[in-house]
Copies of this chain bind each other. A is one copy, B any other.
């Protein structure tokens, strides 16, 4: 039987309106009665990852954000450019729930043994609609956290950890032996460093600030290049030559960085080439763009021969490709190492209503390294 207090819950919603605005608000929604194989999780913590912000903000220019509604029932609106709006035809006028992942306590369970076994357990879950007080989900989708793990500690068990592990797995599967990562001082970047140190994989970190060089060096990183330094291309070429990295994962997307990486990889490859080839090195050089911290256009000069590729990389597509069992192994590693390798740090914990305050939106929408928010949808509500 459901506790009366779990029957309804707040859920964050994002709607792109055809006049070119996004409207973010809170809805009071009934909690579904769990089917036999399902459980209801009372969400304790859900991170605001860059990967959530596409759906949340609908590509709107958040510098135009306006607040309305009340403190308990806030509404945020912001303008979307016509060019971006054109790409959003598929979600127009739909009130969509947001939030990829979360952790919380199972407060209600369906009749199946698998579901019943989870009652009272703290679990991590993935699957959208996590910016909500309650989330009904299949028991099989719950990752049980080790005893003593809090929701905040387990909130990011999937997106960043599996992305970091997915990068290393993709590197291996495609025959590369070391990798490059950009925006490397992020939570994800720090996890990737810990994985690569533990698994003895060469990793070239690219950051944009001197303090992030120090941060990663303290973590034990071997190669850290600052893209703001005048010596960046030389530093990067040297690190690529030493590490042998021929695949990169780029969180930034816009600007010239992806092309610079390919150019430096080509320079590194040609250092060992025996004779000139008019088509460049035969070493395949690959950049995967998995984020869009810079939403501007990507630009590159093709000064890297013919054996190169740039493409999108998406965690869900990667997990589908490797299949359930291989993915489950990765998930179990995350749960086992959630307080060490995969530990995240957050700047602030906010309620759903607080997440819609303009002063908070202004901070977390910047997606700056070291400015990561955690939503606690039940904060202050019981």
Contact = CB atoms under 8 A, between A and B. Distances in A.
Contacts of A64: none
Interface stretch (A20-28, A86-94, A187-195, A327-335): A86-94
A300 B297 contact: yes
Interface in A233-286: 253-254, 259, 266, 270, 273, 275-279, 282
A313 interface: yes
Contact of A314 (B298, B303, B307): B307
Contacts of A94: 276
Interface string A296-311: 0111111101111111
Contact of A282 (B254, B292, B310, B317): B317
Contact of A270 (B89, B254, B301): B89
B91 A276 contact: yes
Nearest to A256: B297
A317 B87 CA distance: 36
A316 B310 CA distance: 20
A279 B309 contact: no
A317 B306 contact: yes
A43 interface: no
A285 to B, nearest CB: 9
A291 to B, nearest CB: 10
A311 B310 contact: yes
A206 interface: no
30 contacts: A54-B278, A54-B279, A55-B278, A84-B303, A89-B270, A90-B270, A90-B273, A90-B276, A90-B277, A91-B276, A91-B278, A94-B276, A96-B276, A253-B302, A254-B302, A279-B316, A282-B317, A289-B302, A290-B306, A292-B302, A297-B299, A302-B312, A307-B312, A307-B314, A307-B317, A308-B311, A308-B312, A309-B309, A309-B312, A310-B311
Nearest to A84: B303
Contacts of A96: 276
Contacts of A253: 302
A229 to B, nearest CB: 19
A306 B302 contact: no
A254 B300 CA distance: 9
A314 B280 CA distance: 11
Contacts of A89: 270
Contact of A299 (B278, B298, B305, B308): B298
Contacts of A266: 87
A283 to B, nearest CB: 11
A59 to B, nearest CB: 9
A280 to B, nearest CB: 8
A295 to B, nearest CB: 8
Contacts of A91: 276, 278
A87 to B, nearest CB: 5
A83 to B, nearest CB: 8
A84 B279 CA distance: 14
A54 B91 CA distance: 46
Nearest to A282: B317
Contact of A312 (B270, B290, B305): B305
Closest 5 CB pairs of A and B: A309-B311, A90-B276, A306-B312, A306-B314, A91-B276
Contacts of A55: 278
A139 to B, nearest CB: 25
Interface in A80-128: 83-84, 87, 89-91, 94, 96
Contacts of A90: 270, 273, 275-277
